[in-house]
Amino acid sequence: MKMIYRKNTKDNQKNSDIQIGIMGGVFDPIHIGHLFTAEEARVKFHLDKVIFVPCLNPTHKRNDHVTAVKHRLEMSYLATDSNSFFEVSKIEINRSGPSYTIDTIKEFRNIYGWDAKFFFITGVDAFLEIETWYKKDELLNICQFVAATRPGYDLNKLHQKFKKVLQIMEIPLLAISSTDIRYRIRNNLSIKYIVLEEVRDYIYQHQLYLRKKVISNIRKQSG
């Protein structure tokens, strides 16, 4: 396997003008829709960098099975390695307990300084649940939100008051979803071109998302 340089966030980088995208998600697995979303946000909002933050414990998914964080983290490193503006942070992994976004932004603010501007980037469906997020009023005061969605999404679902604090980005590639990728693997369908080669190799090498009996079939058609 290719050796990669771990671009962890640096903790000594203070800059009053810096604009940072925080790409929050479960990334189970990370796919080209996520990567394109991050790159689009970087260019559109003139971000100095985008930091991918795989969450440790998704607060709203306690009953769902989420893949071990070591795998989700490793796939995040592999997927982001080729973009010098992308980094991966273990900030939520190193913090025990639920992955509250407010705690994450505050930690980043301590690292980068209070003048740094943060853009929290995530899927619009995640944002639609914002009323239930921990300390959401404080959160909305200390960072901007960028919500990514596929074209044609009904934005009327979004309450008027959030339209003021939220930037929407239409990303055609978000027709791809992690759920669909997991389904494809379970059902012996190809995931070539919808995740990076390195991520696909990692998934097969570690037999993620597979029912054991289809592993050998998938290997045959994955080349």
Positions that interact with ligand NAP (CB under 6 A): 23-26, 34, 37, 55, 58-60, 99-101, 121-123, 125-126, 129, 133-134, 148, 174, 177-179
Report, in Å, the least distance between residue 131 CB and ligand NAP: 10
Report, in Å, the least distance between residue 146 CB and ligand NAP: 9
Q: Are 117 and 37 in contact (CB under 8 A)?
A: no
- The per-residue b/e assignment along 12-24, b for 16 or more CB within 10 angstroms, e otherwise, is eeeeeebbbbbbb
C-beta nearest to ligand NAP: residue: 123
Going by C-beta distance under 8 Å and a sequence separation of 6 or more, which residues neighbour residue 155?
163, 168
Nearer to ligand NAP, 99 or 218 (CB): 99
Report, in Å, the least distance between residue 220 CB and ligand NAP: 26
Nearer to ligand NAP, 111 or 215 (CB): 111
Report, in Å, the least distance between residue 12 CB and ligand NAP: 25
Nearer to ligand NAP, 55 or 78 (CB): 55
Helix ranges, the chain (H): 32-44, 69-80, 91-94, 101-112, 124-127, 136-142, 160-163, 178-186, 197-205, 215-221
- Looking at residue 88, its amino acid is V
Report, in Å, the least distance between residue 110 CB and ligand NAP: 18
Nearer to ligand NAP, 15 or 183 (CB): 183
- Looking at residue 81, its amino acid is D
Nearer to ligand NAP, 55 or 196 (CB): 55
Nearer to ligand NAP, 116 or 146 (CB): 146
Kindly report whether the peptide bond that precedes residue 151 is cis, defined as omega within 30 degrees of 0: no
Residue found by looking up tokens 């791809």 in the block: 176
Report, in Å, the least distance between residue 213 CB and ligand NAP: 25
Please give the helix or strand (H or E) that residue 147 lies within, else none: strand 144-149
Instruction: Round to whole Å and give the CA distance between 143 and 133.
Output: 14
Report, in Å, the least distance between residue 202 CB and ligand NAP: 17
Q: Could you give phi then psi for residue 79, rounded to 5 degrees?
A: -75, -30
Nearer to ligand NAP, 139 or 218 (CB): 139
